[in-house]
Amino acid sequence: MTPSVLSDAHAPHSPASTPPVPGIATIRATDPAIADLIVKEAQRQENTLELIASENHTSPAVMAAMGTCLTNKYAEGYPNARYYGGCEFHDQVETLAIERAKQMFGCKFANVQPHSGAQANAAAFMACMEPGSTFASLVLKDGGHLSHGMKINFSGRYYNPVHYPLHYDVSHKDFERIDYDAVEKVVLEHKPKMLLCGYSAYPRTIDFARFRAIADKVGALLMSDVAHIAGLIVGGAHPSPFPHSHIVTTTTHKTLRGPRGGLILTNDEELAKKIDKAVFPGMQGGPLMHVIAAKAIAFGECLRPEWKTYAAQVVRNAKALADALIKLNYRITTGGTDNHLMLVDLRKRSEALTGADASRWLERSGIISNMNGIPSDPRPPKVTSGIRLGTPAITTRGLREADMATVASFIDRALSAGLKGETEFTHASAEIRNDVRSLCQKFPLPH
């Protein structure tokens, strides 16, 4: 069965809402404890609404590929240049993944071996900079990423990050959006080797052409980490980082709806050679060929005509959810969203409401989100004043704009009940969870 977003028909689901788990009998025969936990996790996913912006539900084919015999093989090196024998078919698998990645993004070179987005970023840094080199990025608290210069991360320990800000003036028309004039000022002052854009919690369209023009002023390389918006780019729902970016990195899950992994892209042949060396042997040993096969399958799905329908629907759903929450007296940073995610500033709803409380109450009500800092958040990262919500996963289930008001009402009911105390919340959350489960049964996961 294809993901329900590709069809207007929604198959009825069993009352127990227990999804089939391929291969579970084999696992149970060897390790019943793990089998039980897998089944419980499958039930959890089937019966909850996944609103974490960085998560999605893969197709059965993508999931199946990760459990194949390809996991048995070492294949260090690249197609037709391996350090182990027996890689004939692995070469063909990886070549298919590479060619499909290039076709997806309209670029000339692709490395499909990074195990994660962070490792893709690390390899790109290694390919383009020496230890101690300066690069410019958006700080994590404003929507950047751990691997974009946090001091506790390799990117902040071994390189010299300088950060550009958002617009912090609440009266400014671009409040909480990227301040491109400030980006240029930081770049001209510090003359970084690399200018980095692409974010983990930024709800607006990125002007890649403007970033490239700024990078060119000091001869910097432009690197775009599009891990969150890659699927939207492929589907035409967000502008492409090419031809403006020298290097593009991304995860292969999130909006691409593939397996957990990373990908590096470029149009520059010399950079491609450096990237390949940085990934292997620079950062990694043997590639995960079962995961690369799953990447190839996901890329093939992204190249189908219906992917544009999916990407557009993700954005429409996000806009509808943001609008519905605004009507319920929640503030959405920047006033809305252009992509798949939104940051909800909870303080307008109640000064006592924190991201930590909200995410916990929502999970108990069957809605999965994550606490997230908002720009200039006065609260610490383990508390936060906001939550981050995204629509990729619920769009995969087949929910549309009209369903977003229902989702928003679930969110508001849970948070309102939580603010009234544990007794009130315990009763309300049980009712909300039943309502969530009923909605999930109307929109089953792809099986």
CATH of the domain at 374: 3.90.1150.10
Residue 53 lies in a domain: no
Note the Cα 45 to chain centre separation in Å: 17
Asked if 225 is an active-site residue, the reply is: yes
Residue 298 lies in a domain: yes
Which is catalytic among the residues 28, 74, 83, 412?
74
CATH of the domain at 153: 3.40.640.10
Residues 81, 173: one domain? yes
Residues 103, 234: one domain? yes
Question: Concatenated DSSP letters for 381-436?
Answer: TTT-SEEEEE-HHHHHHT--HHHHHHHHHHHHHHHHHHHT-HHHHHHHHHHHHHHH
Q: Based on C-alpha coordinates, what's the Rg of the chain?
A: 22
Q: What is the pLDDT of residue 178?
A: 96
For the record, the structure tokens of 139 come out as 């700080």
Residues 346, 296: one domain? no
Asked if 251 is an active-site residue, the reply is: yes
Q: What is the pLDDT of residue 197?
A: 97
Which is catalytic among the residues 50, 179, 225, 338?
225
pLDDT tens, 254-282? 999 999 999 999 999 999 999 999 999 99
Q: What is the pLDDT of residue 7?
A: 34
User: Alpha-carbon distance 386 to 409, whole Å?
Assistant: 17
Asked if 159 is an active-site residue, the reply is: no
Residues 274, 346: one domain? no
User: Alpha-carbon distance 114 to 302, whole Å?
Assistant: 19
Taking 50 as the pLDDT cut, the residues of the chain under it are 1-16
Q: What is the pLDDT of residue 10?
A: 35
Residue 56 lies in a domain: no
Asked if 216 is an active-site residue, the reply is: no
Of 28, 24, 7, 66, the residue nearest 292 (C-alpha): 66
- Look at residues 247, 278, 302 and tell me which one is the last residue of a structural domain: 302
Three-state SS for 45? helix
Which is catalytic among the residues 82, 254, 397, 433?
254
Asked if 74 is an active-site residue, the reply is: yes
Sign of CA dihedral 26, 29, 34, 39: positive
Q: What is the pLDDT of residue 19?
A: 82
Asked if 184 is an active-site residue, the reply is: no
Cis amide linkage into residue 305, ω under 30° from 0: no
- Look at residues 258, 280, 302 and tell me which one is the last residue of a structural domain: 302
Residue 241 lies in a domain: yes
Which is catalytic among the residues 177, 260, 295, 364?
260
- Look at residues 284, 302, 320 and tell me which one is the last residue of a structural domain: 302
User: Alpha-carbon distance 4 to 13, whole Å?
Assistant: 13
Whole-structure pTM value: 0.94
Residues 332, 277: one domain? no
Q: What is the pLDDT of residue 150?
A: 86
Which is catalytic among the residues 58, 250, 251, 255?
251
H helix or E strand, kind and range, residue 90: helix 88-105
Total structural domains within the chain: 2
Residues 381, 334: one domain? yes
Burial of 322 (0-12, 13-18, 19+ CB in 10 A): buried
Q: What is the pLDDT of residue 146?
A: 85
Phi and psi torsions of 435, nearest 5°: -65, -40
Residue 278 belongs to what domain range? 69-302
Q: What is the pLDDT of residue 13?
A: 38
